[in-house]
Structure 1
Amino acid sequence: MLDFFQKNTFSIIYTFFLGLMPIFASSSISYWLITHEQVVQQFTILQWVLVYVASCFSMAFALTPTTFIALLSGYFLGWNALIPIAISYWIASYLGFKMAKLIDGGRFLSKISEKPKVREILDNLQKDEFKIILLARLSPVLPFAVTNVLFSFSGTKLKNVLTAGFLGMLPRTILSIWLGTQAQEIRKLIEHPSQGSSIQFIIFGLILVSMVGLGYFIKKAVKH
């Protein structure tokens, strides 16, 4: 176990970094947006293009949560934000996956595959990886950047990450944009993004479907 951590220290630290960074970065951005809302309201098309280019990198490297970007997009741009958000998610998935691959270089997968049982479980999971990715992306609580890293480390196919990931993100993206369009004040949107019992029920439903589905496929892989 110690040998495993020593050989994968940087990969493990990078994963923890991606899990913590959204908290700090989104708090800083939220404060700036609350105090500069009128400035953002006046953004030109070019400025919004630059915002989404930046968001590709910020989401890929966990500086901003994907839901946070979708909420703000809905608030400022309404449903016009759907296509830019979808494209940004797709590019962020690619960047996050490739960066993790570059950092790890296959060491993580190689090390855990030394154990025959683990290798067997991974092989079984890969048979259903499209469904697993879709379910992982469906949940609003599973960190986008961290799952990109885990997919990359586990040897998941990039085309499945991009395709299934895109499909899995759509429901929660549409929900987040809609929430943004309904908000009257940006402060309330940021501080209480999921007000309303019906919204909380939908979010809980997405999480439940994701967790139950993932649990099923993991259990299936372990039993085979």
Structure 2
Amino acid sequence: MTKKGSIFNFFPEYLHLHPIASLSWLWVAVAPAIGSLLALKNYELLLQVQPQTFIEHLLFILGAALVMGLAILPTTFTALLSGFVLGWMGLFDILVAYTLANVIGYSLGKATNADFLQILTLKSPSLQSEIDQRKDNLGKLIFFIRISPIIPFAISNFLFASLQIPLKKVLIYGVPGMLPRTVLAFLAGILANDFLNARENLKDPLQVGFLIFFLVLSVWGIWYNWKKAGKEK
């Protein structure tokens, strides 16, 4: 069997032998979309969330962190809702919640995929060397992965945890990487007259233009830093 073939065969083998890991990857892949559909059908209930006191804001932060970290709702949807309901005063809440969601999602991925990297490197010994070569560039790679509008937050949490990238590094570089898209979604919520209109604001040409820019930037950043690190070694 060729090395390339062994890598491709690894994933179905791993998921077959690790049913909990299989279910967890399936969850983070599909649950946010299902959660969004359910939330849209019951969005009037969500709009009743109006934290006023310090304790209520803490509960809101914890709730938002849980729904994002456990992949119940996408980060974009949560930021949009927070902007619409809370206005600018909710920006701090959602940023703190997003940071906590990183910890929750990463911890879940680590718990369900503890031996992922070890098994993968047994299948492809050169992979560990590839990762080691790029240790100095991991921060930049994390940043550009987070800024990408097509790499889901929950899946990237599992990816970072499975590859045993330190949580501290994920937070230091991942939170700034997610800021631009989070603020854009939050701003769309603030500017909307109603919640359904807020979702339409995400299709505004300016918003779409920013997303295309982030996509191009992320693809270039990931490719450049991956190749650059490989050449330097």
TM-score, normalised relative to structure 1: 0.89
Give the aligned partner of residue 194 of structure 1: 202
Give the aligned partner of residue 137 of structure 2: 128
1:218 matches 2:226: yes
Aligned residues: 220
Pairing 1:84-95 to 2, within 5 Å after superposition: 84-95=93-104
Secondary structure in 1 aligned to 2:202?
Answer: coil
Q: Name the CA distance, whole Å, in 2 between partners of 1:4 and 1:53.
A: 33
Secondary structure in 2 aligned to 1:64?
Answer: coil
Q: Name the CA distance, whole Å, in 1 between partners of 2:208 and 2:225.
A: 26
Pairing 1:6-85 to 2, within 5 Å after superposition: 6-33=16-43, 35-36=44-45, 39-40=48-49, 43-45=51-53, 46-85=55-94
Residue 163 of structure 1 deviates from its aligned partner by 1.0
Distance 1:37 1:66, change over 3 A: closer
Pairing 1:168-179 to 2, within 5 Å after superposition: 168-179=177-188
Which among 111, 125, 133 is matched to residue 102 of structure 1?
111
CA contact (8 A) 2:109 2:158 kept: yes
Which among 155, 162, 165 is matched to residue 153 of structure 1?
162
Query: Which letter does structure 1 place at the counterpart of 2:211?
Result: I
Residue 14 of structure 1 deviates from its aligned partner by 1.1
TM-score, normalised relative to structure 2: 0.85
CA contact (8 A) 2:99 2:175 kept: yes
Gaps of 5+ in 2: 1-8
Q: Name the CA distance, whole Å, in 2 between partners of 1:38 and 1:214.
A: 38
CA contact (8 A) 2:74 2:153 kept: yes
Query: Does 1-10 or 76-85 show the bigger shift?
Result: 1-10
Distance 1:104 1:205, change over 3 A: same
What is the identity percentage for the equivalent residue pairs of Structure 1 and Structure 2? 28
CA RMSD of superposed structures (Å): 2.1
Query: Which letter does structure 2 place at the counterpart of 1:7?
Result: L
